[in-house]
Structure 1
Amino acid sequence: MDRRQLSHLAHRDHPVAAPLDDASVGRLLTLALPRGDERVLDLGCGEAAWLLRALADRPEVRGTGVDVSPVALAGAREAAAAAGLTERLTLHETDAARFTAPHAFDLVAVVGATHAFGGLLPALAAARAHLAPGGRVLVGEGFWECAPSPAALAGLGASAGEFDDLATTVDRVTADGWTPVHAHVSTPGEWDDYEWSWTGSLSRWALDNPHHPDSADAWEAAAAHREGWLRGYRGTLGFVTLLLRAS
């Protein structure tokens, strides 16, 4: 199965493709958008869940989303149309690292998409290039809750050097010229909900479409992901969403 289609199916019931619940998303957006009339850019927006939530609660906010996945952007357009938000949402199918815009943004989000830039600090550099004076950046990044075991690394397909612990992650951000003005560390419950949703959505699709040529691939992907999580990185990989201002 195409990786982008697989991700689309896995996130059907959890469109914020990161381990945050609805209340956490709402709290972060309240702090990130204090005026209620900001321009918002989401780099690696996926199905634009952050943007749609921001626009739905704030009729003067305008959003721009950038992603390479046509499947995800089609889902974003469909959701925007259903919510009556199409006129205030602009979507671009392009590499987020190469995106340019004719104006700056009051909030730039890169949540769970720093890999598209080659890591946390390159993602922050890209965000800074789009940021209006006094603006904010919302960045979501993984970190090690504890030293990763071989099983955890295998479950993630990661190396031990791919993430730091939380304190070191924040140190890297502050050394790069940013000040955290708020943050949310995903709880174990948010992680569990996200992972059960990911594997469950994909498994349900496979069960409901047994004759689809991708059904077996979806089933196997869900089973492998569940195994890698439950017997590997559960309790080891954390996720922090930082709200930053330039120092």
Structure 2
Amino acid sequence: MERHEISRLAHRDHPIAAPLSDESVRLLLERALRGREDGRLLDLGCGEAAWAVRALAAHPGLRAVGADVDAAALTAGRRSAEHLGVARRLGLHHTDVREFTSAEPFDVVLSIGATHAFGGLAPTLAAIGPLLAPGGAVLLGEGYWEGEPTSLSRELFGDGLADLAGTVAAVRAAGWLPVAGHTSSTAELDAYEWAWTGSLTDWALDQPPGPDRDQALRIAAEHREEWLTGYRSGFGFVTLLLRPAG
């Protein structure tokens, strides 16, 4: 199976592909859309468009667009939107987020756990800037180090992460200011990892013997071991609501 298919299976029971509870997602969207409820929302790296669909369901005047390279995830997102009756207000684009353009700007732009697709935090914010309408806001989700990372953590995540203070400093250096934020709790982080590894394992155990079953069980076991022995004690996740500084 390809990486995208593995990811979809792993997020079956946690459709928000980030360590955030449903209540945290609701509150973050509510804050980001305050005063912008009848505007336009863009999710770059939207996956199954879970953020956009929830926002549309809560705000009848909102329109939303999502962009992602995973065609099957976008198809699942359309089904979810149709089920909730919001599909007419949602546009989904099968494209590399770095190549996404729009003639009309957006009042809220989301990039949750997707800065890697742009090559880092600063390039992500640089790409978002031209897409944002005056008075708009960005909801950015990014990993950071809670403490000194283990050697395995550095091997897994590379050198692109800073601590929380360093992450906020990088945001400010790029010309943005945080106006709200949420640091994911240990419970949220654990719930996400248990769901990721558990959903994939659960799916595999229902499959007949074969390469797909073996691959899913192996990836779930490897991921669980990396989490429990590598980055569980040091990895954090922050979601920042940002506005341009100038």
Category of TM-score, reference length = shorter chain? over 0.9
CA distance, structure 1, for counterparts of residue 42 and residue 129 of structure 2: 11
The counterpart of 1:187, out of the listed 160, 172, 185, is: 185
Q: How far apart are the structure 2 equivalents of 1:48 and 1:114?
A: 17
Q: Output the TM-score relative to the length of structure 2.
A: 0.97
Residues 153 and 232, structure 1, Cα contact 8 Å, conserved in 2: no
Runs of 4+ in 1 over 2 A off after TM superposition: 151-154, 210-213
Contact kept, 8 Å, 1:188 with 1:235, in 2: the verdict is no
List alignment gaps of at least 5 residues for structure 2. Answer: none
Could you tell me the percent identity over the aligned residues? 55
Cα separation, 2, equivalents of 1:38 and 1:18: 24
Q: Which residue of 1 aligns with 2:14?
A: 14
Q: In the aligned structure 2, how far is the partner of 1:18 from the partner of 1:109?
A: 13
Task: Work out the CA distance in 2 between the residues paired with 1:207 and 1:46.
Answer: 25
**1:116-135 paired onto structure 2 within 5 Å:** 116-135=117-136
Give the corresponding residue for 1:204: 202
| Deviation of the 1:177 alpha carbon | 1.2
**Deviations for 1:94-146, whole angstroms, at most 9, x for unmatched residues?**
00011011100000000000000000110011111100001000110110101
169-178 or 192-201, which moves further after superposition?
Answer: 169-178
Letter in 1 for 2:190: D
Write the distance in 1 (CA, Å) between the matches of 2:232 and 2:153. Answer: 8
Structure 1 runs not aligned, ≥5 long: none
RMSD: 1.0
1:220 deviates by 0.4
Decide whether the 8 Å contact of 1:152 with 1:231 is kept in 2. no
Q: CA deviation at 1:75?
A: 1.1
Counterparts of 1:24 and 1:198, CA distance in 2 = 18
Q: Does 1:23 align with 2:31?
A: no
Aligned equivalent of 2:213 = 215
Question: Would the alpha carbon gap of residues 83 and 211 (structure 1) be closer, same or farther in structure 2, given more than 3 Å must change?
Answer: farther
TM-superposed deviation, 1:213: 3.8
Equivalence for 2:97 = 96
For 2:228, which of 230, 240, 247 is the aligned residue?
A: 230
Q: Which letter does structure 2 place at the counterpart of 1:12?
A: R
1:11 partner letter: H
How many aligned residue pairs are there?
244
